[in-house]
Amino acid sequence: MNLLNLGKMPFSFHGGWDTVARIHPSVIRSFVLLVLPCSLIPPLALLYAGSHHAGLYWVSAPYLRWQEVAAVFFVMELLSVPLMGWLIGRMAADHQVTLDFKDSFLLASITAVPMWLSSLGLLSADLWLVIACVIMGLMLAASVLYHGLYAILKMEDTVDAQAMSYQIFSFGGVVWIMLCGFVALPLML
């Protein structure tokens, strides 16, 4: 999978998804080549923001606190991907669709990419740009999940894929808000 295919995934049921279905990577391969490197982006961006423009976020925490929060956030990210993979598998089973963990983990991994990339907004000293990046990341992740469910589960009805993606993304949104709260609260204390 390359960046060109990744760029097609939020907008197409086949662009990029056919390649993923053909490659069909293992959980370990998905973790090592996608989850692990991409999960490094938010903590590194957080550290940059903490060292260059922490005042923008009304935070006066010492840099050591930023490092601690970034390290724990990284671990929490790594744990959230298998959790979301498990949830995708459960939702598929509730809709009488068979899905192995390898595919649900892959879908959770790919769905998280826009959120990981949205953290690059933290490199900017413009709060509105940071907010815009977060909103764009959420919207793209929701679209990736919808198109990915349809493609990976080989669904025939887009409405079923939409219903499943709403349920999964609602839970994922709660997890994401908890992660963001985890970052914000320790820095404000």
**Mean pLDDT of the region 153-161:** 87
**Is residue 128 very low, low, confident or very high in pLDDT (cuts 50, 70, 90)?**
very high
pLDDT of res. 70:
92
CB 141 within 8 A of CB 115: yes
- Averaged pLDDT, 137-143: 94
Q: Which residue has the higher pLDDT, 110 or 1?
A: 110
What pLDDT does 4 receive?
65
Q: What is the pLDDT of residue 2?
A: 64
Average confidence (pLDDT) over 74-96: 93
> How far is it, in rounded angstroms, from Cα 45 to Cα 31?
20
For the segment 120-139, the average pLDDT, to the nearest whole number, is 93
Angle between helices 41-52 and 63-94 (to 10 degrees): 150
Separation CA 163–CA 29 (nearest Å) = 29
Cβ atoms within 10 Å of 166's Cβ, excluding its own: 12
